[in-house]
């Protein structure tokens, strides 16, 4: 990386884009809705069950001009863009989100919250991880809290995290995919006893979508 590239990256006008694709939101509050997904490379949170580990190393993904990303999206018939990763908040999201919103698009974020907030979003989904906890600054801003559950202790973690989000925040428990048959009964029992929580499933995987 040269000095010029480094300056563009810091300004958020150059981003390591892993992939961009049109699909159906498979998780959480917006399940079933069409959206254009931008997967930004780079993540050091290190979830062992992550299903996109190839996103972790930002150096594997081409540095792409944010304006070119917006042009590509502008040619599609969509109204919602989901920025995901990796961990997108490792990068400056201000330029990209401002450009997308100028086009009249709804901009959503999926994040672990482990990095400082940047960008302007219409919907923020926080999926906090125990090994790199979310920063306090993002917790009051989130619209959706999604806890990935792989054992019963994650239900206690979920209740702890619930204390830090706003009362209007939607609360979801989602089974870790490889253990879904094992943990889904735990989740459903918990939701029936704690009615402020809802079940989230990775429905896009059942539909064989990215």
**Alpha carbons 12 and 38: distance in angstroms, whole number:** 14
**Alpha carbons 58 and 69: distance in angstroms, whole number:** 17
Mean pLDDT of 87-91: 98
Domain carrying residue 187: 3-7+14-206
CATH (domain of 133): 3.20.20.70
- Taking the CB of residue 133, how many other CB atoms lie within 10 A of it? 14
95, 161, 174 from 118: Cα distances, Å? 9, 21, 26
Q: Spell out the alpha helix ranges (H) of the chain.
A: 3-11, 66-74, 94-102, 153-162, 180-193, 203-206
**Alpha carbons 85 and 35: distance in angstroms, whole number:** 15
Count of structural domains within the chain: 1
| C-alpha closest to that of 126 among 116, 113, 115 | 113
Contact 145, 162 (CB under 8 A): yes
Report pLDDT digits (tens) over 30-82: 999 999 999 999 999 988 888 899 999 999 999 999 999 999 998 888 999 99
Model pTM score: 0.96
């Amino acid at each position: 990386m040269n000095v010029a590239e480094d300056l563009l990256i810091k300004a958020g006008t150059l981003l390591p884009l892993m992939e961009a694709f049109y699909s159906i939101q498979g998780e959480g509050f917006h399940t079933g809705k069409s959206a254009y997904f931008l997967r930004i490379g780079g993540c050091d949170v290190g979830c062992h069950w992550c299903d996109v580990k190839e996103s972790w190393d930002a150096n594997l993904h081409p540095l792409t001009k944010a304006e070119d990303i917006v042009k590509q999206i502008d040619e599609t018939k969509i109204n919602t863009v989901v920025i995901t990763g990796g961990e997108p908040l490792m990068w400056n999201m201000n330029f990209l989100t401002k450009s997308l919103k100028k086009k009249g698009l709804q901009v959503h974020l999926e994040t672990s919250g482990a990095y400082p907030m940047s960008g302007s979003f219409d919907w923020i989904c926080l999926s906090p991880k125990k090994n790199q906890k979310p920063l306090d600054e993002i917790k009051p801003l989130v619209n959706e809290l999604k806890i990935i559950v792989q054992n019963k202790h994650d239900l206690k973690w979920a209740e702890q995290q619930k204390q830090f989000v706003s009362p209007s925040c939607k609360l979801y428990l989602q089974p870790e995919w490889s253990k879904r048959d094992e943990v889904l009964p735990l989740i459903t029992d918990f939701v029936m006893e704690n009615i402020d929580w809802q079940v989230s499933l990775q429905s896009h995987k059942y539909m064989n979508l990215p």
